[in-house]
A = this chain, B = another copy of it.
Amino acid sequence: MAKDSNPLSKSFIVDFEPIGRRIESDASDDLLTAAQNAGIQLISLCGGAGSCDSCRIRLVSGKLTPPTKEEKEIFNPQELKQGYRLACQAIPLSDVKIDVPPSSLTTPQRLQIEGQEISVEPDPVVVPVNVNLKPPTFDDLRADVSRIKQALETLGITSPMIGFPVLEGLSGQLRVQGWISRLALRGNEVVAVLPTDNHLHGLAVDIGTTKLAAYLVDLSSGKTLAKTGEMNPQISYGEDVVSRIAYTNANEDGRKVLQDKVVSAINSMVDDLCDEVQISREQIVDAVVVGNTAMHHLFAGLPVRQLGEAPFVPEISDGLDISSQSIGLALSAGAYVHLPPIIAGYVGPDQVAMLLATEAVERKRTVIALDIGTNTEISLITGDRVLCCSCASGPAFEGAHIHDGMRAAPGAIERLQIQPGEVRVYTVEGQPAVGICGSGILDAISQMLNEGLIDFRGMLQEDHPLIQSVDGKPVFLVVPASDSGNSRDVIITRKDVNEIQLAKGAIRAGIEVLLKEAKLSHADIEEIIVGGAFGTYLDIRSAIGIGMFPDLPHDRFRQVGNAAGMGAKQMLISSERRKVAEDIARKVEYLELTTHPDFMDEFMKAMNF
C-alpha cells in the first residue's frame, strides 16, 4: 500500500516496530518529529542535530531520504547497508516500516522515587477551617465572598481573602455543600472550598532532567499516601539541559512546548495518585516542586536562554509561589505551587531540597553532599559554612556518549565483574544485555583498572587477553552479540574510558576545590552523602576505585536515594522546614568552577586513575 507512486501525496504511514505504533506523518517531517508527534519517546540527545546517535533506528521497508553527511560519519557502510539511520535525519519518501531498538527508547526505565525520610512534625502551610454560613435571603443580601470573610474574621483570621481562581467555582460549591464547608486556608487566603469530610492533601514533585517523581501526602498526618515515577517527556526534545535550552532557543514556542510536556506529565501522575488514594484533585491544596535551575525555569515558564550563555545566571533566585492554575497544573483551583530558592544557574532548588532532607547543614558536621548527573552539584558543609559548586560531569553516567551506553532500562548492564576467564554481567530485569548503564560502566572501568585492561592514563592494554581489536581499534568486548542474541556486541572503547575520566575528573576536582577553599583535607570529611538515581545504584568501591571519590572508609558514605524529593515533601508538610530551606539557600556560598583558579589543575590531576 506504499503511496510513493503518487507525487501529490502529502503524508505517509510510518509503522514503528516492535512497539507497534502506526501513524500518519507529514511528508516533510523527519522520523524524529514524526515519533515525537506520535508521543513515541525516542531519545534525542543532541536535540535533532544529527551529532549523536541516540535516535538510531533501522529501516525495515519503504524508502527514506538518502543518508546525510552526519549519518555517514556515525554509521559504517555495513550498518548503512543494514538500514541503520538517525531518526532526526531521515525523512520518509513512502510509507515505511521502522524498527526502534530498545536503546533508542526512553521508556521503560527504572525510576528512582524512594528516599530516606526523616521525621518532621506536620505544620503545613495550608490548614483546614470549617465554617457554617447563613444562606443569603432578601434580608441579608451580602455577597458570597463577604459572607465567608466575615465568618473567618469571627474565627480570628485577619484580613481574610479568597484566591481569585477559587471564585470560579465558589458560589456553586457553597450551595451544593449547603453553606457548611471546609476551607483550605493559606495564611489569610482561602485556596479551596471543600465538603467538611474532605482531608487536605499536598503534592511534592522532583523534576529531574530524566525522571519525574511525585508524592501525594496527607497534610495533617504528614504521611506519604502514594508515590509514582515517570520519565520526563522533555527528553524527546533533548536529553540534557543544554540541548533543551538549545531547543527553546531554536523554536519560538519551544518553552511553551517543554512546559506543557512536563506539566501534562505531572497532571497525569496526579491522576494516578488520586485514583490510588481515591481522592479528587480538588483535595490537593498545596504543592512543592523541586528540580535543577533549568527544570525550575521551564516548569514555571521562565526564560532559559540566559542559562545557556555565560555567565549562566538564573532569571530569579528567590523562592517562588505561583498559582497552580496559571501554569496549567490541575490541583485545587486556588492551590499554589512553592518553588524553593535557587542557588545558581546550575545549582537549583533540588540541591537545596537535598541539603534540607539530609539535614546536612543543620547537623554542623563536615559533610560533602553530591547529586551526580550531567551536572553534578557538590556541597561542602563545615561548621557554619556551606560551599557549593556545580561541575559539568557530562551524561556518561546516564549512559550517553558511551558507545553502548544506555539508561537503566531492561537489558542494561548495571553490575559487572571481571573474573578469571569470564566477564560476569547483571542486567536490569535480567534481560539479555543490550547496553550498559551508569553503574555498570563505573564497575567496568574500575574492574578494567584492577585487572590491568587499562593503565593509569586510561589507555587500553592491547596485550591483555580481554582486549580485542574491532575495526583496527582495541576494545573491551563485554558481551558478544552471540551471547546476548542481539545484533550488536556490547563493547567498551578507549573513548568510553575517556568519557568516564572526564566525568569522574570533574566531580573529584569539584570536591578538591571545595576542600581547598575551606582549608580541609580528606580526613576531615565525616560523611559523604550521595543522592540521586545514579548515586543510589553506584558501587561505592568502584567509585573510590576509579578515584571519583576520596578513599575514605566505606561507613562514611551514605546513599540517600531521592533526597530532593524527600526535601520537597518536608517543605510541603512543614512551614518551618520551608523557612529552613530559605535559610540554607541564603547561606550557601557558590563557587563558579569555570573561572576558579584551582579548578583546571585539579581537573587534570583527577583525570588519571
Contacts and interface: CB of A to CB of B under 8 A. Distances in A.
Nearest to A173: B303
Contacts of A143: 313-318, 342
Contacts of A311: 136-138, 141
A563 to B, nearest CB: 24
B168 A317 contact: no
B313 A170 contact: no
A407 B495 CA distance: 81
A1 interface: no
Contact of A164 (B138, B144, B306, B326): B326
Contact of A592 (B138, B146, B171, B316): B138
A525 B143 CA distance: 32
Q: Specify how many copies of this chain sit in the oligomer.
A: 2
Interface size class of A (residues with CB under 8 A): 35 or more
Nearest to A300: B167
Given A137-B311, A138-B310, A316-B167, A305 B145 contact: no
A457 interface: no
Interface string A158-194: 0000101101111110010000000000000000000
Given A143-B315, A164-B322, A313-B136, A303 B170 contact: yes
A590 interface: yes
Given A342-B143, A344-B141, A595-B138, A170 B315 contact: yes
Contacts of A590: 141
Contacts of A325: 326
Nearest to A165: B326
A582 to B, nearest CB: 14
Contacts of A142: 313, 317
A318 B144 contact: no
A302 interface: yes
A138 to B, nearest CB: 5
Given A136-B313, A317-B146, A322-B164, A141 B303 contact: no
Contacts of A302: 167-168, 170-171
A344 B142 CA distance: 8
A458 interface: no
B145 A318 contact: yes
Contacts of A138: 310-311, 592, 594-595
Contacts of A322: 164
A169 B303 contact: yes
A570 to B, nearest CB: 24
A442 to B, nearest CB: 32
A171 B344 contact: no
A345 interface: yes
Contact of A316 (B144, B312, B318, B344): B144
Interface of A: 136-138, 141-146, 162, 164-165, 167-172, 175, 300-303, 305-306, 310-318, 320, 322-323, 325-326, 342, 344-345, 590, 592, 594-595
Given A143-B314, A143-B317, 18 more contacts: A136-B313, A138-B595, A141-B590, A141-B592, A143-B315, A143-B316, A144-B306, A144-B316, A145-B315, A145-B316, A145-B317, A164-B320, A167-B300, A167-B303, A168-B301, A170-B302, A172-B303, A323-B326
